[in-house]
Amino acid sequence: MTDEERFYLERDLRTRECGVADGFHHVVRVVVGADAAQSPGGQAMVLALVNMLARIHRSLQLDIPSVGLLTRCLIPANYLDVAAAGLARAIDPYIRLDAGPASAHAIGIGAAAPSGLPWYAGADGQIAIIDQRPVGVPPTPCLTLGGALSACLAAAAVLRQVLGVEQRPVRLSAWNYHDGDDAERGPDSLGPLDVGDVLQIGAGGVGLCLSYWLREFGVVGTWRIADRDDAVVHNTNRCLGLLARDTAWAGGAPRNKAVVAAQLFGALPHACWYDELDHDTFKPDLVLPLANERNVRHAIACRGEPVILHATTSRTWEAQLHRHRPDSDDCITCRMPSPTSEVAFGCATVRLETSTALPSTDAALPFLSATAALLLVSGLYLLQFEQIADEPYNFWAVCFRDVRRHVRRAICSCRDGCATVLPGNVRRRIHVGRRWSHLDHWA
């Protein structure tokens, strides 16, 4: 077996477990219009799309104008086309950047993309659009939630083409989680995310994608990220911030995932599990449970937090956002039960059977993890804007496989006899003075 064969055998393991058994060798094409290429927000959208495509497809055709780079990239580059090609190779050292006949599996970005392509992606404020006609990209100075979500939907549209799965036009808001005519544009400008001091537990698929998006949007406050695991090759199939060089593939030592995630946007890493943290020295305003090792979700549910937001992916190709407010929503333990439960909610750490010697772990596709993380970013902005508590629902999902709908919402409640949630008078004493304590009505 060659090095290339071994790389793809390990890298694509989780992709296959998520239901993609074929199609890796099909050439897929990205065509970028001049309007998208000359906008910082458009460039960030293009690089995010290439980031996701290179984690599944082994041959890309990148029809991208050679213009000066106006946005950030995970690798050093001065021009957009060079940045896109270099990023694809940093993710997959064996990827083929094919210059042959134009592939029929294609996506166009921007209103100036040429006609004749099967699908196009663009954005309108915080709304993502996938259509069969060219779609504009706003000339924004930075990435918008709509542009980021459009990149995720575009990556899914390309895979659906390759797999021969039906694709429909999409107009979906990353602000109010509605589609069609009910999709809201949201604020014209969001600015850096400011939700106080944050403790992020987990730097896996959703956690590293969250760090990638936060690198684009910026943060205010102190963020700490805890994860004890080192990066391995099969992590690169779904983690937007992870490159092949961060694993042991190139012959060096693998990097700790918390360190990789933290360096993306200036957070503080902790290479340990949640229960190994010194909780006396850091009192976060918000805790984000993005892992499930060592029963961490239940441990965080027992903290009595005034609000908990987290995001997951499901085995049915959903990206999900969860809100938990004590006495208003259900707790995490009831929403995300143990793997032996018969409750139907999927999570980011679905236990799967494999035919390899590797232990079964989480399985997701890059656009699933990226969309889940983006929903969390949007939820955090709603928290910052004091709107998250106004939402009547506490569960939202973007559906990538459901032919009936693009989104779904639900109101979840605790199971009968749940004893996880702390009494209100105890919560009030524990969390007095914290930034979001007013979201608990006992405050």
User: Which pLDDT band holds residue 412 (cuts at 50, 70, 90)?
Assistant: very high
Sign of torsion, CA 392 126 82 23?
positive
Residues 232, 304, single domain; the answer is yes
Residues 37, 166, single domain; the answer is yes
Residues 344, 309, single domain; the answer is yes
CA angle 60, 64, 65 (to 5 degrees): 160
Query: What would the mean pLDDT of 118-145 be, rounded to a whole number?
Result: 96
**Model pTM?**
0.94
pLDDT over 70 for what percent of the chain? Answer: 94
Residues 167, 250, single domain; the answer is no
User: Which pLDDT band holds residue 358 (cuts at 50, 70, 90)?
Assistant: very low
* pLDDT score of 250: 73
Beta 268-270 vs 223-226: how paired, if at all? parallel
Give yes or no for residue 112 having a pLDDT over 80: yes
Q: Of 182, 205, 240, which residue constitutes the final position of a domain?
A: 182
Residues 163, 255, single domain; the answer is no
The reply to whether 152 falls in a domain is: yes
The reply to whether 15 falls in a domain is: no
* pLDDT score of 306: 94
d(C-alpha 205, C-alpha 147), whole Å = 20
The reply to whether 90 falls in a domain is: yes
Backbone angles phi, psi at 156, to 5 degrees: -70, -40
Identify the burial level of 280 via C-beta atoms within 10 angstroms of its C-beta, where 0-12 means exposed, 13-18 middle and 19 or more buried. Answer: exposed
d(C-alpha 320, C-alpha 387), whole Å = 18
Query: What would the mean pLDDT of 9-20 be, rounded to a whole number?
Result: 91
Residues 212, 153, single domain; the answer is no
* pLDDT score of 403: 77
User: Which pLDDT band holds residue 255 (cuts at 50, 70, 90)?
Assistant: very high
Backbone angles phi, psi at 83, to 5 degrees: -65, -45
* pLDDT score of 337: 75
Residues 340, 396, single domain; the answer is yes
Residues 176, 199, single domain; the answer is no
User: Which pLDDT band holds residue 338 (cuts at 50, 70, 90)?
Assistant: low
CATH code of the domain covering residue 89:
3.40.50.720
The pLDDT tens digits of the residues spanning 174-208 come to 999 999 999 999 998 899 999 999 999 999 999 99
Give yes or no for residue 20 having a pLDDT over 60: yes
Rg (CA), the chain: 21
Number of domains in the chain: 2
* pLDDT score of 443: 62
Do residues 176 and 149 make contact, with C-beta atoms less than 8 angstroms apart?
no
Residues 200, 82, single domain; the answer is no
d(C-alpha 201, C-alpha 276), whole Å = 12
The reply to whether 49 falls in a domain is: yes
The reply to whether 214 falls in a domain is: yes
DSSP assigned state of 360: P
Give yes or no for residue 18 having a pLDDT over 90: no
- Its domain, for residue 226, covers 193-439
The reply to whether 426 falls in a domain is: yes
* pLDDT score of 348: 41
Residues 109, 221, single domain; the answer is no
Residues 239, 322, single domain; the answer is yes
Give yes or no for residue 441 having a pLDDT over 50: yes
> C-alpha distances in angstroms, 50 versus 43, 97, 182, 365, 367?
11, 12, 29, 14, 11
